Chains A and B, each alone.
Chain A
Amino acid sequence: MSVLPPDLDAAGFAAFLDDLRAVVGPDWVWSSDEDMHAYRDSFSPVWNTEEERHASAAVAPADVEQVSAVVRVARKHRVPLFPISTGKNFGYGGPSPNVNGSVVIDLKRMNRVLEVNEARAFALVEPGVSYFDLYRAIEERGLKLMLDCPDPGWGSPVGNSLERGVGYTMPHFRDHFGAHCGMEVVLPDGEVMRTGMGAMPGAQTWQEYPYGFGPDPSGLFAQGNFGIVTKMGFRLLPLPEYYRTCLITVPKRRDFVKLVEHVNYLNDSGLIGEVEYGSPLRAKMADPQVMALITKAGGVSDAELDAAAEAAGLPCWQVELQFLGPERATYENWTFARDRILGDIPGAQAIEGEHFALPASEHQLDTPQQPWPSAIKRRRSLGVPSLGEWKIVRDDGHIGFFPVLPRDGEAVFEMQRVLGDAMKAFPTLPPFFNALTTPLLWHTHTFQMVFAPSIKHDDPEHNAISHAAMKRCVEVAAEHGWGDYRASPIYQDAVADTYSFNNHALRRFHEQLKDAIDPDGIVAPGRGGIWPRRFRA
């Protein structure tokens, strides 16, 4: 499926590729169908349809000088580039671009861990460094630092954080963009810029003070298209001494509201790590009566769910808490959490779970011994990269819609009902939003819920349903003030469109900036729903 860059004919494309080869060497430019297969989004719901976005070529520079030179070549030929770090953005577009015919600038060769500083708890890495690479660098040097990784560890701190990806340890580290500190960027004219203290020659604090002086533009490079990031610093968590877990259950549906308030308090006070909300009643979902109840149009009442819980002899909700820190502190934090919640919610119960000193042994990582069926994934909770999570991928992959909602139990009930009702139009999909769907506390201070319908390469009808459901979810959610946090290129315009306050003032501002620094759309035109003049016309 060969495509050409916009406004370029075959001869122009060949000349462009020759110029690229002159920069990076002939072995590091690809354009054959076979090679470009790797740059398709294998999780695409529009796989093999007209809507699928294809890159025309890929180029892999070795260093920042080559990145600049590639950008200058692209500028000369007016070819859009699409930067990727490790290109594992599955569920959100994989390595595929917004604009057909874009050239992927694949930064996998820039894979040096430039610095890991134990005493000051930071790392500085290039884009091709994966979480595994950084973990290995820490492990091999025996440094007492903890990573915060996404579920699959093969992505990169740079690519993941530029997508505002998330992890599973302490609140301020789970928000990966929030935990970055300082970046180096190649701008759309090929110029190299550093943010924060990196802008001051001789400063030793690039990874310690993110702002420097004056406006900090680093936010523009996350989910944006204002430059190609070639280095990025990250704050790391000093390896905690101890890990401790517990389970708290509450009996009634409405107890969830108070439970959330307590967990918010614990989270915001820095006393707990990532939490896993759940409902013990999910164990009964195979029972048709329970299923009918939790997917009932208009939602369930408190009385109905309470009756179902009572009949099953189960509490309505549970939360698994995780504590990281000095052993005594984790103990005090756990008893504090227990006393606070049990003292306020009648019928609440607490069970003490596993606890041990860190670093965990392989046995502790691989064989959790919780006295309850646990949703905690041990490796990710302890910042140990893994690929085991791949087992949740079914069919040929999935697409993801993770609406942001208030950290409030009532808001959770409302989203369960509203999106549950809206998704009844797609009865072949699993009921992602039902009366037992619980929120995720991934980002530091907000809830999200999961909608992730699968895709199948050989079933276009199924994919069309997932695709239509996805678009509908975005619309209905926005009507209630719930926005998607991250989207694949085929949905980015629709999602950006929902952030429309004051006649799309935010988008107009982004467009003004884009027109000023990249009117031809050399860097990822369309990413984040931001189109330069050339493509708006």
Chain B
Amino acid sequence: MIRRDMLKWGALVPALAGVPGMARAQAGEGLDVLLLDTRFGEGPLDDMGAARVLTFAGDVTKVWYEHLDRAWRQPGFVVGGITGADALFVLETLARQQGRKVVARKALEVAPLAGDIAPVSWVIAPAHPSVLA
């Protein structure tokens, strides 16, 4: 079960990274939430197929406190994102605490922000038996 999920979400990451055309439209399929870090551009905020899209600009506090923290207290819930590596570090650390892990990640070929913050696409999925759906 965990392995199958990991493969599925692992395959998704290049699509999250890829952006154009059809691939983008479907990239988020199966995600409960897609997080977009608007420091890398506002972009067209379509849902890419994700159940819900949330945006933030570097600081994950609100999306985590108001959405993810609550959702991660229940089994299941898969989150994908295109964010700065710094924001992913914070989310990954929080996710671990709640039995989840980054099952796939891909550095994106976009110029880093000042301070060398590189964008990365990723998927965080339940890993510990206590939170598997």
Contacts and interface: CB of A to CB of B under 8 A. Distances in A.
A386 B93 contact: no
Interface stretch (A226-234, A388-396, A471-479, A490-498): A388-396
Contacts of A136: 65
Contacts of B64: 387
A391 B130 CA distance: 32
Contact of A387 (B59, B129, B130): B59
Contacts of B89: 42, 390
Interface in B78-133: 86-87, 89-90, 93-94, 96-97, 115-116, 128-130
A390 B96 contact: no
A154 B97 CA distance: 10
A154 B93 contact: yes
B61 interface: yes
B93 A27 contact: no
A92 interface: no
Contact of A391 (B58, B69, B97, B129): B58
Of B61, B86, B94, most A-chain CB atoms within 10 Å: B61
Interface string B3-39: 0000000000000000000000000000000000000
A419 to B, nearest CB: 26
Nearest to A389: B59
A162 B59 CA distance: 27
A391 B60 CA distance: 11
Contact of A88 (B69, B87, B93): B93
A448 interface: no
Of B59, B87, B130, most A-chain CB atoms within 10 Å: B59
Contacts of B87: 390
Nearest to B84: A391
B59 A108 contact: no
Interface in A378-411: 385-388, 390-391, 393-395
B94 A154 contact: yes
Interface residues of A, number: 20
A132 interface: yes
Contacts of B129: 27
A390 B59 contact: yes
A38 interface: yes
A156 to B, nearest CB: 11
A132 B69 contact: yes
Contacts of A385: 61
A276 B45 CA distance: 40
A249 interface: no
A153 B89 CA distance: 15
A388 B86 contact: no
A4 B49 CA distance: 46
B61 A387 contact: yes
B97 A108 contact: yes
Nearest to A396: B89
A388 B61 contact: yes
A394 B96 CA distance: 22
A271 B68 CA distance: 39
B130 A386 contact: no
B68 to A, nearest CB: 11
A390 B69 contact: no
A393 B86 contact: yes
Contacts of B130: 27
Of A27, A132, A386, A387, most B-chain CB atoms within 10 Å: A387
A96 interface: no
B90 A390 contact: yes
Interface string A135-169: 01000000000000000011000000000000000
Interface string A60-94: 00000000000000000000000000111000000
A10 B89 CA distance: 33
A161 to B, nearest CB: 19
B90 A86 contact: no
A136 B69 CA distance: 11
Nearest to A133: B69
B49 to A, nearest CB: 28
B65 A132 contact: yes
A391 B97 CA distance: 21
Given A27-B128, A390-B87, A390-B90, 14 more contacts: A87-B97, A132-B69, A136-B65, A154-B93, A154-B97, A386-B61, A387-B59, A387-B60, A387-B61, A387-B64, A388-B58, A388-B59, A388-B61, A391-B86
4 closest A-B pairs by CB: A388-B59, A387-B61, A386-B61, A27-B129
6 contacts: A132-B69, A387-B60, A388-B58, A390-B86, A391-B86, A394-B116
